[in-house]
């Protein structure tokens, strides 16, 4: 119980986001330890390139972003797609910098970037105690906010193999994607999409599988978590709810940190308690509170922007 109280007391890591959104056609809409040494994983069927002769890894530029040498091979031929969010998706309006929900996600981005200066933090699991509490929307909008920083290369990966929704939000094909890569049916590059004009890469869930937890236990998943920090400044994973499957608990043990999303007026204290107890205390970065009334958010910014008109 004390872990829950501690988590709520960490107010500087807690955000209040936008109101809940309606369900999407693809399923319910869901809105806010140092990494292990990289192993010689084979992301595209080839081992990592050798390091530079001076002992430092060679770097190149991918889409204007400095990357490790192997990242050029990993990301160079990724399919480019337009930013085309589904209607009523409640994803960030990239043309409206003063939009209130965007301000909230930029605040969350800033706090995570500060934490990154204090500890090795590149891979983050976004989950919730129960369904329809806002985890998918939080993951997508956080990834969008991070990708707006010029030097950031960001991965948004859909690891919710039970009810994937990232491809629905962004109106992308579900496959090829994660499961197709893990089962050896495509390369990692073929499973990715890059959003045009942004440093955002999307890894959709891929073809449906009957045994999600067994797929996530494959050795390739651990290798992927170890390799991704060498290609992306941030890798953000949308996962199933904690209290409905063991998937998120497994993935949280592989990631550098976990963000728990709760919904105001819906998530119970008991659910938060049980969700926190299922996670490693040191791995929880904070709690995002979703579902605030629009008036509560707009009141925070109306005075400031009106004084600068």
Query: Domain holding 293: CATH number?
Result: 3.40.50.300
The answer to whether residue 66 is domain-embedded is no
The answer to whether residue 263 is domain-embedded is yes
The answer to whether residue 63 is domain-embedded is no
The answer to whether residue 86 is domain-embedded is no
Least confident among 41-45, 221-225, 266-270:
41-45
pLDDT at residue 103, as a whole number: 85
CA–CA distance from 44 to each of 192, 215, 232 (Å)? 12, 18, 16
The answer to whether residue 292 is domain-embedded is yes
Q: What are 197-216's pLDDT values in tens digits?
A: 899 999 999 999 999 999 99
Q: What are 36-69's pLDDT values in tens digits?
A: 333 334 444 433 333 333 333 333 343 443 344 4
- 257 pLDDT more than 70: yes
Q: How far is CA 29 from the centre of its chain?
A: 16
Reference 272, options 127, 108, 115; nearest CA is 127
Round to whole Å and give the CA distance between 97 and 251.
Answer: 33
The answer to whether residue 67 is domain-embedded is no
Q: Which domain holds residue 269?
A: 2-21+93-307
The answer to whether residue 36 is domain-embedded is no
For the whole model, what pTM was predicted? Answer: 0.75
Please count the structural domains in the chain. 1
Contact 20, 31 (CB under 8 A): yes
Q: What are 1-37's pLDDT values in tens digits?
A: 444 445 444 434 444 444 444 444 444 444 443 333 3
The answer to whether residue 28 is domain-embedded is no
Residue 160 or 62, more confident: 160
């Amino acid at each position: 119980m004390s872990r829950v109280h501690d988590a709520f007391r960490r107010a500087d890591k807690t955000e209040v986001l936008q109101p809940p959104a309606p369900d999407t056609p693809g399923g319910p809409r869901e809105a806010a330890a140092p990494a292990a040494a990289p192993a010689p994983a084979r992301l595209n069927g080839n081992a990592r390139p050798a390091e530079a002769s001076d002992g430092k890894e060679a770097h190149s530029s991918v889409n204007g972003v400095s990357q490790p040498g192997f990242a050029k091979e990993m990301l160079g031929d990724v399919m480019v797609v337009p930013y085309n969010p589904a209607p009523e998706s409640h994803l960030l309006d990239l043309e409206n910098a003063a939009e209130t929900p965007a301000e909230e996600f930029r605040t969350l981005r800033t706090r995570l970037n500060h934490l990154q200066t204090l500890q090795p933090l590149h891979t983050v699991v976004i989950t919730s105690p129960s369904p329809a509490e806002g985890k998918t929307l939080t993951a997508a909008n956080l990834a969008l906010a991070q990708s707006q920083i010029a030097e950031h290369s960001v991965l948004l990966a859909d690891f919710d193999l039970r009810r994937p929704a990232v491809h629905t939000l962004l109106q992308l094909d579900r496959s090829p994607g994660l499961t197709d890569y893990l089962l050896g049916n495509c390369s990692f590059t073929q499973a990715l999409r890059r959003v045009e004009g942004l440093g955002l890469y999307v890894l959709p869930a891929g073809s449906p599988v009957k045994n999600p937890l067994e797929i996530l236990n494959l050795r390739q998943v651990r290798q992927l978590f170890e390799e991704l920090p060498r290609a992306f400044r941030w890798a953000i994973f949308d996962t199933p709810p904690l209290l409905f499957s063991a998937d998120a608990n497994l993935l949280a043990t592989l990631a550098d940190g976990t963000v728990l999303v709760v919904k105001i007026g819906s998530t119970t204290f008991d659910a938060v308690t049980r969700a926190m107890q299922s996670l490693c205390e040191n791995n929880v970065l904070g709690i995002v509170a979703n579902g605030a009334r629009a008036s509560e958010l707009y009141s925070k910014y109306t005075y400031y922007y009106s004084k600068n008109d």
